[in-house]
Structure 1
Amino acid sequence: MTDRDRDKLAGLRKAKVVATSLLVGSVSLMVVSKLLEARYPAFGYVAAFAEAATIGGLADWYAVVALFKRPMGLPIPHTAIIQQNQGRIADSLGEFVETNFLAPEPVAAKLREVDFASLISEWLSDPAKSGSLSRFVLKLVPQAMASMDNSRLKDFVSERLMEQVGGLKIAPIAAQLLSAVTADGRHQKLLDQLLGAIETILTDQAALDGIRDKIRQELPSLFKLFQADAYLLKKIIASTGSFLDDVRGDPDHALRREFDRFVQAFIINLRDSPDYAERAEKLKRDLLGRQEVRGLAQEMWKSLTAFLERDAQSPESRIEAHLAGLLTDIGRKLATDERMSREINQGFVVALSAFVEQQKSSASTFIADQVKSWDMQQMIRLMELNIGRDLQYIRLNGTLIGGLAGLVLHVIEVLFRLA
C-alpha cells in the first residue's frame, strides 16, 4: 500500500467514526428526550429532531452498506449491488467509454490539439535520434530481404518487371532520350569522341599496315615498283588528319551540321516511323527473350542483397550515414514547411480517427472483460478506499438533514394543534 493509500484509509476511518458517532449520539438523544418529554414538553422538539436524525442516519447507513455488501450479512434483496451486478456494470462501463470517450467527434477534436508534425520534426532534427532510427532500419533490411528471398515475392517482382519492360514502347522513349541529349549539343561531344577514335586508328602501326596492304592490292604492278602505296598512304593519313583537325576546331563545320541533320532525322524517325518502331520492338523482344536478360533481374537482386548485407555489417555503413543525414534534413525542412505540417497533422487525425473508430468496439469489450475478471472483494476495497469517505459524509449529512426535517415537521404539527 502506498503512502497515498494510507492517507485515504486514515481519512475513511475518521469519516466512519464521525458518522457512526453522530448516529449513536442521535439515538442516545432520542431516548433521553423521549423519557423527558412527558415532564418537559419542550423536549418534544429535541425528540422529533433526534428521532428523524436517527431514521435518516440508519437509512443512509443501510444505503451505503448495501452498495458494497449485505447489511449484517442478511440476504436482503437488492443489496451487495456491486457484487451482484458485476457483469452489467462491466458492460455498461465499456459501452459508456465507447459511446462518450471514443466517439468520432471528441476523438478528432482531441487529436487536432496535437501537433504531430512538430513532434516528428523535433525528433528527426536531432542527429543522434535520426542515427538511431537509421541503424534500426538498416538492421531490418537484411532480414526483410532474406524473408523476400525465401518467398515467391522475388520471382513475382522479377516477372512483373519483365512484363512492365515488355509493355514499354522503346522507340518513343529512345527518341525522347536522344532529344534531351541533343538539346544542349551533347551529341557533338559524341562526334568528337568518334573523331578521336579515328585519329587513334590512324596512328596505330598495325592499322596503317593493314591499310597499306589494301592499297597495294588495288594498285597496278607498275606503281608497286615505285612504292606508290606508301606515298598514297602518307597523303591519305595527312589529308584525313588535317580534315579531322578542321572538324575538331570548327564548331560550325559542315560535317557537324550534317551530323546534326542526321541525328535529328533519326530522332524523328524513331518517334514517328512505324518501320523504326517495329524494328525497335523486335530488338526489345529479342533481348527480353534471351536467357541472360531473364536472369538479369535475379542477378541484380542477389547483388543488391549482398551489398545491403555487407553495408549493414560495416562499422562505417554508407547507407546508414546517408539515411541519417536524409532523416535529419527532412526533420529540419519540416519545421519550416507549414503546408506540409498541416497535411501531416491532418493525415494523422484522419488515420488515427479511423483506427479508433474501427477498434473502439474491441476496446469496449476489453474494458468489460477486464472488469468482469476483477476480484470483487479487491475492487470493493479499492472503490471504498477512493469514494468511501464521501459516502460516510452522505451518512453524516443524512443524519443532520433528517433531524432538521423532523424538527420542521414537528413544529408544523404543533402550529396546526394551536390553530
Structure 2
Amino acid sequence: MGRNTSADTDQAAGAQLPGMSPEKEAERRKALRRHQAMATSLLVIAAVVFIACSWWQSQGTAPAWIGYLRAAAEAGMVGGIADWFAVTALFRHPMRIPIPHTALVPRKKDQLGEALSGFVGDNFLNAELITEKVAQASIPEKVGEWMAQPDNAVVVSRKAGEFAAYALRSLDPKDAEEIINSQVISRLAEPTWGPLAGRALEGLIEDGKTEPLIDAVISWGREKLDGMETSIVSLVDERMPNWAPRFAKELVGDKVYRELVDFMADVDADNNHQARQALRKQLHQLAQDLQFDGVMISRVEALKSDVMGSAAVQGAASEIWASVSSSLIDASLDPDSTLRKRVEELAIYWGEKVQNDADVRDYLDKMILGTVSYLADNYAGSVSAIISETIERWDADEASEKIELMVGKDLQYIRVNGTVVGALAGLLIYTCNQLLFGV
C-alpha cells in the first residue's frame, strides 16, 4: 500500500502534459496502429518469403531465381528488423529489454528540452532576425490602411468599448471609492478654501460674471415684494402709535409698500443704481475678505471642516463611482453614443494620418522596432527557457507517448523503407555476387 502511495506522489509531482483533444488523440492513435501494422506486415511477408525460399532450396529442386528472391527477402527482413529497433528505441526499450542507448526520449527528455530551447532562442528569438522581419512587415502602414476603413473603425470602436466596459466592471467598487476619496475628495480639503474662493470671485467680478447673480437677487426681491403688501401694511400698523387714526395707518402702510415697489422697479431698470453699486461693492469686499481677512478665512475653514466631515461628503465616493461607472459603461456599449462615435472618428483620423504622414510612420516604425529589439534582447532567453522548464516538468513516459502519437505514424515509413531498401540492396548484392563469382 505504501508503494502505491509513493507512485501516486511521484505521478502528481510531474506536470500533466497538455495535449490534443481526446477525439484527436484517438484518431492519431488509430492511424499510428494502422501504420505500425502495415510496416509489421511487410516485415512478416519478407520473413515468410525468406523461410519459403530457404525451404524450397533445401529440397534441391528450386529454380535459380529463388536465390535472388531469398536474398532480397533476407536483406529486407534484416533492414526491417533494424529499423523497427531504431524507431522503437526512440520511445521505449525494445521488447522491454534495457538495452543501452534505447528509450532515448524518456531518458533524454530534459536534454532534448534544453536543446530545443536553445535552438528556438538562437534561430527564432534572435533580436536581429525578429527586428528585420518586423521592419519588413510595414506594420504601421498596414494598420493605418486597415483603420482608415469606416467599417474597421466601427470594429475598433466596438472592441475598445467592450474592453472599457469589461475593465470598469472588473474594478472593485471599494478600490474605486478609495481612489476617489484619496485623489479627489481628500485633495479638495487640502488647500485653504478662503483665498481660492476669493480669487475665483474676484475673477468673476472682473469678467462681469457676477452681474447675472445681482440681477437674480433683484428679481427675487421683486417677486417676494409682490406678495408682501398685506404683511408690510400690518407691520407699519403695529409700529405706529396707538393714538394714530386707523385710516392714517392704512395710508402710511400703503405708501411704504408703494415706495418699496417703485424702488425695486428703479433698481431693476437702472444698471447703475446705487443699490446695484452697493451690491457690487459688497461682493468685491467679500472677495477681498476671503483672500486677506484672517477672521473670514478661519470661518471658511471651519465651514470646510464641517462640509468635508459630513456624512454626505464621506459617502459621496460610492455614489460618484456608481454614477460615473454606469454612465461610462452605457456609453461604451452604445454604438450611437458620443464616446463610441468619437473613437470611430479618431480611428479613421489616425489611420489616414499614418498612411499620409511619412514622419508619423517613421516614428511608429522606430518605436515598434525599438520595443521589439528591447524585448528580444532582454526576454528571449526567458521565453525560450519556458520550453525547457515545461518539458522538465512533464512525466517522461507520458511525454514519450504523446510525442510518439505526434510523429510515430511518419516514423513507420522508416520501417517500410528499411524493409524495401534492404530487399533491393540484398538483391543488388546477390546479383553482383552472382555476376562476379557465379556463386
Question: TM-score scaled to structure 1, two decimals?
Answer: 0.59
Change (3 A) 1:75 1:372: closer
Using the alignment, how far apart are the partners of 2:205 and 2:287 within structure 1? 14
Residue 305 of structure 2 aligns with which residue? 289
Change (3 A) 1:202 1:323: same
Using the alignment, how far apart are the partners of 1:222 and 1:396 within structure 2? 142
Using the alignment, how far apart are the partners of 1:287 and 1:358 within structure 2? 61
The equivalent position to 2:350 in structure 1, one of 309, 314, 338, is 338
Residue 90 of structure 2 aligns with which residue? 67
1:131-174 Cα deviation digits (max 9, x unpaired): 9995x778767xx33x559xxx75x8646656422333543465
SS at match of 1:76: coil
1:6 is aligned to 2:30: yes
SS at match of 1:375: helix
1:36-93 Cα deviation digits (max 9, x unpaired): 9xxx9xx999999999877766654443333233345543311222233234334545
The equivalent position to 1:378 in structure 2, one of 401, 404, 410, is 401
1:125 is aligned to 2:140: no
Using the alignment, how far apart are the partners of 1:162 and 1:52 within structure 2? 90
1:110-134 Cα deviation digits (max 9, x unpaired): 9x699699789527539xx979995
1:243 is aligned to 2:269: no
SS at match of 1:75: coil
Using the alignment, how far apart are the partners of 1:99 and 1:265 within structure 2? 76
Using the alignment, how far apart are the partners of 2:406 and 2:314 within structure 1? 66
The equivalent position to 2:315 in structure 1, one of 282, 291, 299, is 299
Using the alignment, how far apart are the partners of 1:123 and 1:69 within structure 2? 53
SS at match of 1:378: helix
1:275 is aligned to 2:292: yes
The equivalent position to 2:232 in structure 1, one of 208, 224, 229, is 208
Pairing of 1:22-101 with structure 2 (within 5 A): 59-93=82-116
Change (3 A) 1:188 1:30: farther
Change (3 A) 1:138 1:404: same
- Percentage of pairs with the same residue: 15
Pairing of 1:326-405 with structure 2 (within 5 A): 326=337, 328-329=340-341, 332-333=344-345, 335-338=347-350, 360=383, 363-364=386-387, 367-369=390-392, 371-372=394-395, 374-375=397-398, 378-379=401-402, 381-383=404-406, 385-396=408-419, 399=422
SS at match of 2:298: helix
Q: Would you say the 8 A contact 1:334–1:341 is kept in 2?
A: no
Change (3 A) 1:292 1:15: closer
Change (3 A) 1:257 1:193: closer
Using the alignment, how far apart are the partners of 2:41 and 2:224 within structure 1? 115
- Whichever residue aligns with residue 195 of structure 1, its letter is I
Which segments of 5 or more consecutive residues in structure 1 lack a partner in the other structure? Answer: 415-419
Change (3 A) 1:148 1:44: closer
1:289-318 Cα deviation digits (max 9, x unpaired): 33773544323246558x77xx99xxxx87
CA-CA distance at 1:240 after TM superposition: 0.7
CA-CA distance at 1:13 after TM superposition: 2.6
Using the alignment, how far apart are the partners of 1:165 and 1:124 within structure 2? 35
RMSD over aligned Cα atoms: 6.3
Change (3 A) 1:214 1:193: farther
CA-CA distance at 1:12 after TM superposition: 3.8
CA-CA distance at 1:356 after TM superposition: 8.1
- Whichever residue aligns with residue 282 of structure 1, its letter is S
Using the alignment, how far apart are the partners of 1:132 and 1:274 within structure 2? 47
Q: Would you say the 8 A contact 1:86–1:372 is kept in 2?
A: no
Using the alignment, how far apart are the partners of 2:300 and 2:157 within structure 1? 45
Which segments of 5 or more consecutive residues in structure 2 lack a partner in the other structure? Answer: 1-22, 355-359
Residue 324 of structure 1 aligns with which residue? 333
Using the alignment, how far apart are the partners of 2:229 and 2:143 within structure 1? 75
1:224-273 Cα deviation digits (max 9, x unpaired): 997684586266335414413522xx6xx466995897599569858xx9
Q: Would you say the 8 A contact 1:94–1:367 is kept in 2?
A: no
- Whichever residue aligns with residue 86 of structure 1, its letter is K
Change (3 A) 1:97 1:405: farther
1:175 is aligned to 2:199: yes
Using the alignment, how far apart are the partners of 2:333 and 2:43 within structure 1? 67
Using the alignment, how far apart are the partners of 1:366 and 1:168 within structure 2? 55
Change (3 A) 1:304 1:115: same
Q: Would you say the 8 A contact 1:179–1:267 is kept in 2?
A: no
Using the alignment, how far apart are the partners of 2:163 and 2:185 within structure 1? 37
Change (3 A) 1:13 1:255: farther
Change (3 A) 1:223 1:66: same
SS at match of 2:213: helix
Using the alignment, how far apart are the partners of 1:172 and 1:358 within structure 2? 56
